Structure 1
Amino acid sequence: MTALSDPPASRARPAPRERVAADETVRIAMTVNGTGATVDVPPRAHLADALREQLGLTGTHLGCEHGVCGMCTIMVDGQAARACLLFAVQCEGAEIVTVEGLGTPEDQHPLQRAFSAHHGLQCGFCTPGMLMSSYDLLRSDPGVTAEELPEQMSGVLCRCTGYRGILAAVDDVARTYPDGVPGPLACGHRTLVGRGTGAGSGAGAPAEDVPAAAAPERVELPSGPPSAVVEVTSTLRSPTDRVWAVLDDFDLLARCLPGARLTEVLDGDRYRGRATVALGPVRLSFDGLAQVVERDPAAHRLRFHAQGSDAGGSATRADVVLAAAAGPGGGTVLTAHADVHLTGRVAQFGRALAGDVSRRMFEQFAASVDEAAQTGSVTAPGRRAQLRLLVGTARDAAGALVRRGLGRLRGLRRRS
């Protein structure tokens, strides 16, 4: 691969569209690590999700998703930027460099070699942000001193035990290249992994100019780690055989999920449906597909995969396992486990909050399953149930903040 020079700041960019409707998908073209790429994105999808989910460039990590932690730092038209704060539609015609473009295992960038030599890696979560931030620093200020580095590198928040090694690595490269750090070494024409790649398309095009994607026929779960792992255990009054009868009837089961309903039954134990999640003023409506992948009547165990997306750019996928076992007093212990993958607007509320909401929803689901097992029907949740979801989630978040604060206070007292 050839090195990529920084694009001039004055380079003309296509004029952005004045307005994009929430239910539109926009086709944008950009250059990523030297390769032209075209992606179809909703207007609210941020650049980090487009890079990770559509182009397979998972080196750009997501942390706070509020532009604070610096983990998603990349280069856009030669300037450092937070990928979680840029909408993908803003990047029409942009020249983007991610950590994958910095170097390869066979031809590492000097910064990558220095991070390894000075043991500045640790868990690796902050490493892409540290690498891209230090590259931007040494490119713009090659004369930075070791004393200035802690302040100049403060835009990436990690301060683990590898932090001093990171500063030593950056200082090493700064002294080795006093006239400026070499440019990215792994930028050149290649095939990007994922959907939506190809030749540039010019200015962003509205959805009606883009061939509509066919509705998925099967659920495809991401290969990476989930955004949240949810496990809820509930004790129900109903006997196990009646609870299993609810789990074995997917139409009834779907009505037990808050805000969900089936719209079509397909072959192969597949089901289309719609789910609405309301959290205060935020209301998300997902059209999706569920597919049962395991049904074990003897063990009272059901496993299904589900995926859904909404017009605002949110997408969710989940691997759900439901298991019923005999409980005290002739009742049932219902266990729900879900690996949840989130992208787009719903992920921007924070993965921890999404996990709290998912747990609250599974608690409501368990109560509905108990009702369906006893009566054969489910009462649709009203505004009061949505309010309980909102209040319960807020209470959990506040409790977690208080516990963290008390833990820090105890630590300060012990040190004093």
Structure 2
Amino acid sequence: MKIIIVGAGAVGSYLAERLSADGQDVVVVEANPHTAEALNSRMDVLTITGNGAGQGVLKEAIGAMGDSVDLLIAVTDQDGVNALACHSATTLGINQTVARISDSALRSGLHNMGVKVVIDPDEATADELLRLVRLSGLSEHWEFADGRLLLVGAIVQPSSPLLEKPLRDLPTLSKRRDFLVVAIIRDGDTLVARGNTRVQVGDHVLMMVAPRDVQFAAKLLGIKTRIATRAVVTGDSRLARVAIRKLSEAWLSVTYISADRVICRKVAEDNPRALAICDDPAHPNTLGRLDLGERDALLALSEDDANNALVCLVSKALGVQMAVARLHNQHHVELLEGRGIDAAVSPRLLAAGSILRYVRRGVVHSVVTFSDSDAEAIELDVGPESPAVGLRMMDIDLPTGSMVGGIVRNMSPILPRGDTMIKPGDRIIVFSLPEHITTVENLFHGEEK
């Protein structure tokens, strides 16, 4: 697929790196020459310096791709530029466009301007934070097929009954069949689960479950889940403000801490039910006065990884049950998750997932990406021409780096086993490493003609 990305900030540069590594043909348009030069110095993509909302610059980008472009993604930090870029792209014959729009008041009528898909990474990240807070202890909590299947994750604790047992022995731990381990992330490597796979303390385990068995799955990982009643939010970022609004709307008690008096006053005015404290959120005395405990969740959401990590470490030392950090750097996630940080969130990962569904072939409903792995969980429909139709799971030649974690058939969830048969129209959730995604697409959609 030929893709133009307008904007080389945190989201745009990450998308460029991910999509180019995926084998897509990518051109980036960036107005700031220093940002464009920095992008060119660290990755092998063509970068054009200029205003991506202008037709002249976009014509240059289209010409560089051979006069045919499949998708334009506008993710600058300016809503107007993103909308105009999509309008110009549509005028120039690009049919699929995606715009990052932060101001909800601007979203109505955008389709008439050529914006086909609107994304808001901060809104999506705040929704994920709300799911994590509602059941603290888990590092992931993703819904598929309108909530009929869930993908949950956590760092395995010493009390886990899974330790040092091959996964094929899981049925001996319980007669339930409503959970399935799909992957283990260990020391930066992603291992797709197999029958002889053994779980170790400190592993990051991803498990597909039916909604009623989330707490049971958590117990298998040695996690004690609790519903948080108070969220303590830090960080002078839009994500922090959006999260406060959503948490307050869900009737959680919210405390916001910032050293900036102007921001504190604004948060208090916009969220009457939230308590705003003007103080240093990383100082032990500030957090100590809150009497943090088992029913609290700490959300460190500034733009600075180091600051977020420090706030989480201090809060854990003071007894907070759940500490979540916004982390940009994947190496920080690998180093800190499970060592003072219970979960990491990243708006750019959420943006990538929202956009990848339009890059993958077939009818794709959602794509989930992970902070400490380059794997994807893809929710897609099995096409009528799929060579897997009519075969049992044990007879399908899936790559070793991929696994079908769940099936929804006639609105009912299925956790597949070896004798489960694939039928046309099944909605499946496939966990796959990036090098096997094309094979997965061919298996369940049919080869590209």
**TM-score of the pair, normalised by structure 2:** 0.25
Please identify the structure whose Cα radius of gyration is greater.
1
Bigger relative contact order, structure 1 or 2 (CA pairs below 8 A, ≥6 apart): 1
**TM-score of the pair, normalised by structure 1:** 0.26
